[in-house]
């Protein structure tokens, strides 16, 4: 990138003229490989990416206590998401009754260092790191928790401070795994306490839970049912337990001013079970997981619903198009936003053609849904070119400008139209000198400590990302 630098005055003011070109610019043309043209998305569209930590699927790459390595892994993920045009990351902070952050309630996750309860070196906090780096890139960071699951196998060892070990009466074994019992009010209270700890201590942009509720219809909860069933059928009581947790999490998130949502399996009920269900023939969350996902929308327990519709358009048992339209109708007349979970992993794992993902994104937009989220980060490399093209296709030609300065003042507009030139001035406070200034990933360092003021003139190029400006001082 060409840079023209000159000193503007004896007090150390520096003027820079440059072009800002971010990845994922809008082209409006067909994708070179697939021939599919992206439908234009709304400017408020959510384009999300799940980052899984269970089994270290996406983060970290290997067991390590090194703050440097953990930080580098996080930075790579955020940079890749930003380059592909995503505006939200759903980071799994509690994969198995543990924490990817410094918690007073749950132990450090074993998926970080290899040992549950062992903290990373130097006080490193993965959630704090992800929040900082995501926000610096203009990306939302949503905290994703798995509420009930405690272990993935019978061989998993619990740390001495694990609440599941300290309070075994809250747990049940099922299928070789350990779970918090949804029917125990104290177990649900523990889950809520953990969620509140996150919202209280971290600047996350949302609270998110996935599709794991009751793991099976023969879950061993006879004692709790006898104690708390209150005359309900077993199925209705179990659904009431999940209802109570979802409603409480939504109310908690509202107190902290962030959205809360759920990403359930894609089918509530088949129409063969209930005329209100979808024209499908598959796993029904209402009966199998005791999750009344349609009811959560109608009662507005959630701010958004994010069904995992992991089938192709035209699938005979569960057609992606049919389910998108069904969920859109469910959300009509409510304040609940509809995001669609899409299976980019199927390109590698099931041999889907890449263009299927493009068609699914277009269908989200033509049906008027509010966005989509891709499962998951590891598989982004398989569809990166197409996803970058489609993510960039948004109606708005305006980029929001975000500022962050340490002992300095930044003068800049709040937003700017693509194709226009902006002027930005960064001024160190009295007695300070600029150490660095950064605009959209282009960084200027001032090791001599003589620059007090810096002026940027920049042509804003098309991008799906916010424009970020930061500065630091000596």
Q: 76-128, pLDDT tens digit by residue?
A: 999 999 999 999 999 999 999 999 999 999 999 999 999 999 999 999 999 99
Answer for the pair 91, 130: CB distance below 8 angstroms, yes or no.
yes
Dihedral angle, C-alpha 412, 413, 415, 420, nearest 10 °: -90
- Pairing state of beta strands 140-145 and 206-209? parallel
Mapping DSSP to helix (H, G, I), strand (E, B) and coil, where does residue 146 land?
Answer: coil
Residue 9 binned pLDDT confidence (cut-offs 50, 70, 90):
very low
Tokens 């400008």, residue located:
401
Those residues whose C-beta lies under 8 Å from the C-beta of residue 19, and which sit 6 or more positions away, are 1, 458, 459, 461
The per-residue pLDDT for 36 is 86
Per-residue pLDDT, averaged over 33-37, amounts to 70
Say whether pLDDT at 430 is over 60: yes
Per-residue pLDDT, averaged over 239-255, amounts to 98
The per-residue pLDDT for 434 is 94
Per-residue pLDDT, averaged over 1-22, amounts to 39
Closest CA to 269 of 183, 327, 340: 327
Backbone dihedral angles phi then psi of residue 443, each to the nearest 5 degrees: -110, 140
Per-residue pLDDT, averaged over 400-404, amounts to 90
The per-residue pLDDT for 433 is 94
Query: Given phi > 0 = left and psi -120 to 50 = alpha, else beta, which region is 456?
Result: beta
Say whether pLDDT at 18 is over 80: no
Residue 339 binned pLDDT confidence (cut-offs 50, 70, 90):
very high
Tokens of residue 199, six digits: 């919202």
Residue 462 binned pLDDT confidence (cut-offs 50, 70, 90):
low
Say whether pLDDT at 417 is over 70: yes
More confident residue, 150 or 36: 150
Per-residue pLDDT, averaged over 54-63, amounts to 98
The per-residue pLDDT for 15 is 57
What value, to the nearest 5°, has the Cα angle with vertex 351 and ends 85 and 62?
60
The pLDDT tens digits of the residues spanning 289-338 come to: 999 999 999 999 999 999 999 999 999 999 999 999 999 999 999 999 99
């Amino acid at each position: 990138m060409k840079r023209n630098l000159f000193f503007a005055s004896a007090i150390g003011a520096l003027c820079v003229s440059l072009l800002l070109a971010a990845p994922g610019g809008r082209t409006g043309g067909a994708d070179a490989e697939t021939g599919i043209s992206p439908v234009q998305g709304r400017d408020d569209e959510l384009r999300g990416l799940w980052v899984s930590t269970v089994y270290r699927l996406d983060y970290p790459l290997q067991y390590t206590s090194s703050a440097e390595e953990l930080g580098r892994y996080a930075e790579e993920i955020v940079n890749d998401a930003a380059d592909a045009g995503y505006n939200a990351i759903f980071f799994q902070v509690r994969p198995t009754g543990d924490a990817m952050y410094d918690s007073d309630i749950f132990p450090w996750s074993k998926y970080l260092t290899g040992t549950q309860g062992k903290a990373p070196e130097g006080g490193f906090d993965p959630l704090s790191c992800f929040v900082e780096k995501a926000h610096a890139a203009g990306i939302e960071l949503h905290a994703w928790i798995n509420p009930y699951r405690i272990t993935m196998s019978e061989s998993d060892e619990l740390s001495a401070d694990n609440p599941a070990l300290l309070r075994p009466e809250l747990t049940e074994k099922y299928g070789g795994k350990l779970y918090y019992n949804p029917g125990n009010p104290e177990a649900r209270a523990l889950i809520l306490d953990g969620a509140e700890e996150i919202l209280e201590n971290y600047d996350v942009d949302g609270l998110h839970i996935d599709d794991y509720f009751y793991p099976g219809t023969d879950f061993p909860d006879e004692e709790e049912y006898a104690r708390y069933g209150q005359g309900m059928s077993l199925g209705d009581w179990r659904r009431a337990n999940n209802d109570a947790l979802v409603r409480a999490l939504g109310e908690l998130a509202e107190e902290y001013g962030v959205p809360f949502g759920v990403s359930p399996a894609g089918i509530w009920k088949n129409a063969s079970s209930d005329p209100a269900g979808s024209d499908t023939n598959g796993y029904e969350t209402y009966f199998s997981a005791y999750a009344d996902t349609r009811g959560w929308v109608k009662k507005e327990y959630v701010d958004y619903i994010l069904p995992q519709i992991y089938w192709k358009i035209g699938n005979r048992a569960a057609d992606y198009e049919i389910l998108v339209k069904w969920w859109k109708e469910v959300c009509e007349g409510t304040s609940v936003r509809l995001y669609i979970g899409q299976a980019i992993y199927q390109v590698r794992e099931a041999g889907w053609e890449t263009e299927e993902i493009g068609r699914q994104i277009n269908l989200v937009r033509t049906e008027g849904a509010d966005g989509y989220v891709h499962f998951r980060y590891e598989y982004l490399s398989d569809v990166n070119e197409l996803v970058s093209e489609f993510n960039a296709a948004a109606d708005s030609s305006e980029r929001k400008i975000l500022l962050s300065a340490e002992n300095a003042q930044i003068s800049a507009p709040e937003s700017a139209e693509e194709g226009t030139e902006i002027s930005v001035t960064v001024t160190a406070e009295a007695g300070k000198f600029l150490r660095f200034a950064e605009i959209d990933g282009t960084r200027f360092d001032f090791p001599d400590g003589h620059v007090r003021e810096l002026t940027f003139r920049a042509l804003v190029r098309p991008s799906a990302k916010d424009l970020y400006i930061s500065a630091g001082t000596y």
